[in-house]
Structure 1
Amino acid sequence: MTDAAGRPTALVLRHDSAIGLGNLGPVLEEHGYELVVVDAPREDVTAIDALEPDLVVVLGGDEAAYETDRYPYVGHEIELLRQRVAAGAPVFGVCLGAQMLAEAMGSRAYRGPRKEVGWLGVDLTEAGASSPVRHARGIRFVQWHGDTFDLPEGVERLASSPQYANQAFRAGDWLLAVQFHPEVTPAIHENWLAAWGDELPEYDLTVERMRALQGEYGPAAEAASRAILGEFLDGLGQGRRAGSSKKSTSSFDAASAATPA
Structure 2
Amino acid sequence: MRFICLQHVWYDNAGYLEEWSKAWGSELHYIDAKKPDDYPLMKDNDVLVILGGPMSVQELPETDWMQREVDYIEKAMNEKRKIMGICLGSQLIAHILGTEVSSLPQYEMGWAELNWHTSFLEDFDVDQLSIPMFHWHSDIYDLPKGTKPIGKSELTPVQGFYTDHILAFQFHPEMTVEGIQNLIDHDDQEIEKRDKTVDMEGPRADPGYVEQSHNRFQPIIEKFLNVHGEKKID
TM-score of Structure 1 vs Structure 2, range by shorter chain: 0.7 to 0.9
Alignment check: 8 A CA contact 1:133 1:158 kept = no
Query: Of residues 117, 120, 145 in structure 2, which corresponds to 1:125?
Result: 117
Aligned pair in 2 of structure 1 residues 75, 50: CA closer, same or farther (>3 Å)?
farther
The equivalent residue for 2:2 is 9
Deviations 1:202-255 (A, max 9, x none): 5448997543x714422211222233223322269xxxxxxxxxxxxxxxxxxx
State how far apart, in whole Å, the 2-side matches of 1:175 and 1:78 are: 15
Query: What does 1:234-249 align with in structure 2 at a 5 Å threshold?
Result: 234=226
**Over aligned residue pairs, what C-alpha RMSD do you find?**
2.6
Alignment check: 8 A CA contact 1:99 1:109 kept = yes
Which SS does the other structure have where 2:54 is aligned? coil
Alignment check: 8 A CA contact 1:136 1:224 kept = no
Give the superposition deviation at 1:43.
Answer: 4.7
Query: Of residues 224, 228, 231 in structure 1, which corresponds to 2:223?
Result: 231
Aligned pair in 2 of structure 1 residues 22, 150: CA closer, same or farther (>3 Å)?
same
1:196 matched to 2:187: yes
Give the superposition deviation at 1:53.
Answer: 6.0
Structure having the higher helix fraction is 1
State how far apart, in whole Å, the 1-side matches of 2:32 and 2:128 are: 29
The equivalent residue for 2:178 is 187
Query: Aligned residue pairs: how many?
Result: 226
| Amino acid in structure 2 at the alignment position of 1:22 | G
Give the superposition deviation at 1:196.
Answer: 2.4
Query: Of residues 135, 143, 147 in structure 2, which corresponds to 1:155?
Result: 147
| Amino acid in structure 1 at the alignment position of 2:186 | A
1:102 matched to 2:102: no
| Amino acid in structure 2 at the alignment position of 1:182 | P
The equivalent residue for 1:30 is 23
Calculate the TM-score normalised by the size of structure 2: 0.85
Alignment check: 8 A CA contact 1:118 1:142 kept = yes
Query: What does 1:54-93 align with in structure 2 at a 5 Å threshold?
Result: 54-93=46-85
Which SS does the other structure have where 1:127 is aligned? helix
1:219 matched to 2:211: yes
Aligned pair in 2 of structure 1 residues 73, 175: CA closer, same or farther (>3 Å)?
same
Alignment check: 8 A CA contact 2:104 2:139 kept = yes
State how far apart, in whole Å, the 2-side matches of 1:199 and 1:232 are: 33
The answer to which structure, 1 or 2, has the higher relative contact order (CA under 8 A, 6+ apart) is 1
